[in-house]
Structure formats: C-alpha cells, structure tokens
Amino acid sequence: MKFNYFIPVLVFFPVLILQTTIIPLIAIQGIIPDLILILLVYFTINNGQIFGTVQGFVYGLLFDLITGSLLGSAMLAKTLSGFVAGYFSNENKRDFYLRSYMFSVIVLICAVIDSMIFSFLSSADLTTNIFSLFFENGIVSGIYTSVISLLILVFFILRRRF
C-alpha cells in the first residue's frame, strides 16, 4: 500500500485545527473559507477521481464527528465535491490546474457544491427562502474559499521563485 494514500489524512488534522481556531477570526458575517475543501481539491487533482471521492468521504466523516455537525451532512457534501474535483484530474493538464488561476476556479465550483449540499442537509426548512439560502451559504461561501485558495496559490508560486 502506498504511503501517499495516508498523507491526506495526516495533513487533515493540522488543517482542521487551523479551520476551527484561526479561520473563525477572519469570518465575514459568519461566513468562513473552507481550508479542508482546498486540501481535498489539491489531493484529488493530484491523485485522481476515485481517490478524491473516497478522500472526501473520509474528510467529511472526520469533520462531522469532530465538529459535532449533523453526521452525514459533510460526508455527503465532501464526497460529491471530491468526485467533481476528480474531473479535473487529467494527467496532461495537472500542472496547469494546480499552478494557475484554474485551481481557484475548481475550488470555487467544488466549494459551491459542498456548501449548498451541506446547508441543504443541515438546514432543511420549508419556511426559508431556498434561493437566498443557496446564495448566501453556497455562492458567497464558495467565493470566499476560492479567494483564499488564490492567495495560497500566489504564496506558493512566489515562494518557489524566491
């Protein structure tokens, strides 16, 4: 069994610590970027669709257990996000996807899907305007995650140059 398969799980815990301690400090109106999703997209593009789908499931399971959110909500959301990110795991274009603005676009797509499914499952309430819920929970949150992924990307590109 490849050791590479365990790296995403090992990296998950420090990132979750950041997600639950530091990241809430940069919340805007209760909306925070999802570092775990950025991590999921990165490993999925590197390792393929099946890997990403399973990784999303494992990340979701751990996230639900540790943070106390509805068990199954993040599991489903992250499984589907990992699956969608897997479509961008083309060996010929991998470098382009990981080292250009495209990475943020992929993160945006996956983050919107992730946030929408998560919010739909965890706040299914017929009295709430479902479109505004999807806009605030899905798109706004996805854009914020995408912007942060762009900053991380720029940071790593600059670090390589200097």
Partner 1 sequence: MVRFFRYLWENFKEYIILIILILLSLGALSLNQQREIKKVRAVAFGSFAFVTSFISDLVNISSLKNENERLREINAELMLQVNKLRQYGIENQELRSLLNLKDTTKYPIHPASVVSRSLSRSQGTITINVGRNDSIKPGMPVFDGQGLIGIIYSTSEDFSLARTLFNTDLKLTVKNERSRVNGIMKWNGENLVIVDVPKTYDIQEGDRVVTSELSSIVNVPIPIGVVIGISKVEVGIFNEVQIKPFSDINGTENVFVLKVVESKQKNDLELNFFNRK
Q: Which residues bind partner 1 (CB under 8 A)?
A: 13, 16-17, 20-22, 24-25, 27, 30-32, 49-50, 53-54, 57, 60-62, 64-73, 75-76, 79-80, 83, 86, 118-119, 121-123, 125, 127-129, 132-133, 136-137, 141
Helix, strand or coil for residue 28?
strand
Select 2 or 160, whichever has its Cβ closest to partner 1. 2
Select 24 or 93, whichever has its Cβ closest to partner 1. 24
User: Shortest approach of partner 1 to residue 35 CB, angstroms?
Assistant: 12
Select 148 or 153, whichever has its Cβ closest to partner 1. 148
Do residues 137 and 119 make contact, with C-beta atoms less than 8 angstroms apart? yes
Token digits of residue 112: 């919107």
31 sits in the region (left: phi over 0; alpha: psi -120 to 50; else beta) called beta
Contacts of 14 (CB under 8 A, 6+ apart): none
